[in-house]
Structure 1
Amino acid sequence: MITLENVSKSFLSRTGNVTALDGVSLDVPAGAALGVVGPAGAGKSTLARCVSLQERPDAGVVRLDGLNTATLDTRSLRATRRQIGFVGGEAQLFKQRTAAGNIALPLEQSGVDGPRRRARVGRLLDLIGLTEKAAAYPDDLTEGQRRRVAVARALVGEPGLLLADDPTANLDADGTAGVLAVLDRARAELGVTLLVTTQDNSVVRRICDDVALLDGGKLLEHGNLFNLLRDPDSRAVQALLPSIEGGASVHQDRVADVVLIGFAAVGALLPEATARFGTQVSVIGGGLTRLGETPVARFRIGLRGERADAALAWIADRGAIVHQPLSGPQGVVAA
């Protein structure tokens, strides 16, 4: 469990004092995957450094499994840091060491014997899908492969918490997919708690359960992705779901925004409403995405027919999230 209690952090810059974090409080349950999102300068990297104990906050408390890290002396701080894996937006590998040698380095520094080092490195090379690249040097790897090696090195000490600060920055689609697959496997197979900072909303959609939105150092939103879907004003949801570009049609009796979750809802709910109520249901705007492995659609729909209200209520009763139902007289633009 990670707990931040009113954490603040400021820095001096050429333009004066910059508040990177301003009273941030949040909880991350053990085993969860939290995506911290926000624009450049929002405070995401500072949050990651405070949680990984690379920075001490100016005010507030960072707790790891209930431990108040502000009370740690230098020796205890170093020991606690070893329980946290950290990987940044650049691989930062040693060019003179092979992929296996880079992963093994923290174990060598900790005095772990050769057989245990080799066994642990071998397991991690398998986890990142680079067993055949064990003897390759960084210059012979793609940037995506180098990032995966960096993740393995962060995991070699068997940490309970892995922080990934913008891990897919400047990667192509294949590199991004490879890194996200490794992070997802680390959580599933090693049981690590995962905290990822990113400006790429697709990262959150693909591997995170929870999201925290930072802007100007302030925490604006924090919660489970599927719970936030029910909030029509959620900025995080607006960014994660397909935009609704279509407007209301002049030939609809009812217009509403709906969110459909799961294969059955996305594939069958609207056609079934049409058949059951004799109501024509048209998709005016929106689209389909995935949160993890779950398909999620956000549509603006128009309904025509005497039973349009009943059809819309039935859609909501079957688990769809109906946002901002827009009503208007038949044949008039709903507003």
Structure 2
Amino acid sequence: MITVENLSKSFWGNTGPVVALDDVTLEVPTGTITGVVGPSGSGKSTLARLVALQERPDSGVIRVDGFNTAALDPRRLRAARRRIGVVAKGELLPQRTAAGNIALPLEQAGVDGPQRREKVGKLLDLIGLTDKAARYPDTLTPGQRARVEVARALVGDPGLLLADDPTHELGTDAAAGVLTVLDRARAELGATVLVVTSDAGVVRRIADDVALLESGKVTERGNLLALVQDPTSRVARELLPAIDAPEEAAAGHDRVAEVVLVGFAAVGALLPEATARYGAAISVIGGGLTRIGETPVARFLLGVSGGHADAALGWIAERGGLVRQRVSGLHGIAAAA
């Protein structure tokens, strides 16, 4: 496990000191994928370098498996660094094949040929590029090169895999391939993964936990599925489908409510069952479906009519749906049921 406690870091700029991180606390639980999301300049890359033990903070503590890295002697600090695999973008050697690039850290560590070949073969299979083992970087697509970079970071069996904006400047399909590899690294190799990114879609696709970093401060953090059910969550607003419905769509309904449903059973069954139980007419007038990892999540704007409209919405809330009734058009939210 990696924990960051009250971490601060400043740099000297043209106009004086610039605060990159300000009292940041973060936990990356073992066996999870944790995402740190934030805009450009929020301090994400600085945090990544500090967690990778490439730089020292001005204050605060970074713990690796419970050990305060600031108190480690040089030998133990090097050992701690080896427990962290860093996905280094743009650093593949052009004169080495994909397999040769993955094998390089093993060669430098003195691992013998048969062991190297076995390890590299397994990682090429993990990233889906066994047939590209003998190809050179300039003959690979950007997405394939990014997957080779992930494999090279995994070759030393790190406890933590750290990826800084791993899908930056990649197309949709190439980015999906890289995220699949990160997810497989956690599922099949048992790696703990920390991803820092400016793309909320990356977090939605693979993260278990998330922290929102803004202007060097963590302004929100928690389990992703819990946050999407929090009506005050800014992360949820970024990840859930937008509700884009004209004012007139709400006309003619006794109640208008925003509803968030999480899980296969909730998304597939709650609305039809509420209709059957209470005889209410329930119409979806805005919103849509998405996935948080493999879990379906819906955010709908519902129009509900009938004498038992309130009871139907209350029943949905009792079964885990987040329900907020709107009483003055699409922008007037009265309360959460």
Whether TM exceeds 0.5 here: the answer is yes
Equivalent AA in structure 1 for residue 152 of structure 2: R
Equivalent AA in structure 2 for residue 272 of structure 1: E
Q: Does residue 277 of structure 2 align to residue 267 of structure 1?
A: no
Q: Which runs of 5+ in 2 are unaligned?
A: 333-337
The answer to whether the 8 Å contact 1:250/1:334 transfers is no
The residue that corresponds to 1:208 in the other structure is: 207
Q: Does residue 23 of structure 2 align to residue 27 of structure 1?
A: no
The answer to whether the 8 Å contact 1:36/1:214 transfers is yes
Equivalent AA in structure 1 for residue 314 of structure 2: A
Number of aligned residues: 330
The answer to whether the 8 Å contact 1:253/1:327 transfers is no
Give the superposition deviation at 1:171.
0.3
CA deviation vs aligned residue, 1:226-253 (integer Å, no higher than 9, x gap): 1112211101111011112226623222
Distance, in Å, in 1 between the alignment partners of 2:204 and 2:66 is: 29
The residue that corresponds to 1:54 in the other structure is: 54
The residue that corresponds to 2:82 in the other structure is: 82
The residue that corresponds to 1:281 in the other structure is: 282
Distance, in Å, in 1 between the alignment partners of 2:52 and 2:4 is: 12
The residue that corresponds to 2:189 in the other structure is: 190
CA deviation vs aligned residue, 1:196-231 (integer Å, no higher than 9, x gap): 011111111111101100000000011001111221
Partner secondary structure for residue 316 of structure 1 = helix
The residue that corresponds to 2:117 in the other structure is: 118
Distance, in Å, in 2 between the alignment partners of 1:54 and 1:275 is: 60
Distance, in Å, in 2 between the alignment partners of 1:28 and 1:118 is: 32
The residue that corresponds to 2:318 in the other structure is: 317
Distance, in Å, in 2 between the alignment partners of 1:259 and 1:39 is: 26
The residue that corresponds to 1:14 in the other structure is: 14
CA deviation vs aligned residue, 1:147-181 (integer Å, no higher than 9, x gap): 10000000000001000000000001121011011
Q: Which moved more, 1:270-279 or 1:127-136?
A: 270-279
Equivalent AA in structure 2 for residue 4 of structure 1: V
The answer to whether the 8 Å contact 1:37/1:211 transfers is yes
Distance, in Å, in 2 between the alignment partners of 1:144 and 1:77 is: 33
- Relative distance call for 1:67 and 1:172 in structure 2 (3 A) is same
Partner secondary structure for residue 157 of structure 1 = coil
Query: Identity, % of aligned pairs?
Result: 67
Q: Which runs of 4+ in 1 moved over 4 A?
A: none
Which residues of 2 match residues 37-52 of structure 1 at below 5 A? Answer: 37-52=37-52
Distance, in Å, in 1 between the alignment partners of 2:258 and 2:12 is: 45
Equivalent AA in structure 2 for residue 284 of structure 1: I
Q: Which moved more, 1:263-272 or 1:185-194?
A: 263-272
Distance, in Å, in 1 between the alignment partners of 2:227 and 2:134 is: 45
Which residues of 2 match residues 185-264 of structure 1 at below 5 A? Answer: 185-246=184-245, 249-264=250-265
Distance, in Å, in 1 between the alignment partners of 2:30 and 2:5 is: 17
The residue that corresponds to 1:64 in the other structure is: 64
The residue that corresponds to 1:134 in the other structure is: 133
The answer to whether the 8 Å contact 2:228/2:235 transfers is no
Distance, in Å, in 1 between the alignment partners of 2:49 and 2:101 is: 22
Report the aligned-residue RMSD: 1.5
Distance, in Å, in 1 between the alignment partners of 2:217 and 2:330 is: 39
Partner secondary structure for residue 204 of structure 2 = helix
Equivalent AA in structure 2 for residue 55 of structure 1: E
The answer to whether the 8 Å contact 2:64/2:80 transfers is no
Equivalent AA in structure 2 for residue 237 of structure 1: A
The residue that corresponds to 1:151 in the other structure is: 150
Partner secondary structure for residue 203 of structure 2 = helix
The residue that corresponds to 1:296 in the other structure is: 297
Q: Which moved more, 1:170-179 or 1:239-248?
A: 239-248
Equivalent AA in structure 2 for residue 280 of structure 1: A
Partner secondary structure for residue 196 of structure 1 = strand
Distance, in Å, in 2 between the alignment partners of 1:181 and 1:26 is: 24
Distance, in Å, in 2 between the alignment partners of 1:210 and 1:66 is: 20
The answer to whether the 8 Å contact 2:8/2:24 transfers is yes
CA deviation vs aligned residue, 1:121-166 (integer Å, no higher than 9, x gap): 1110110111111111001100100010000000000001000000
Distance, in Å, in 2 between the alignment partners of 1:268 and 1:199 is: 34
Q: Does residue 92 of structure 2 align to residue 93 of structure 1?
A: yes
Distance, in Å, in 2 between the alignment partners of 1:220 and 1:176 is: 27
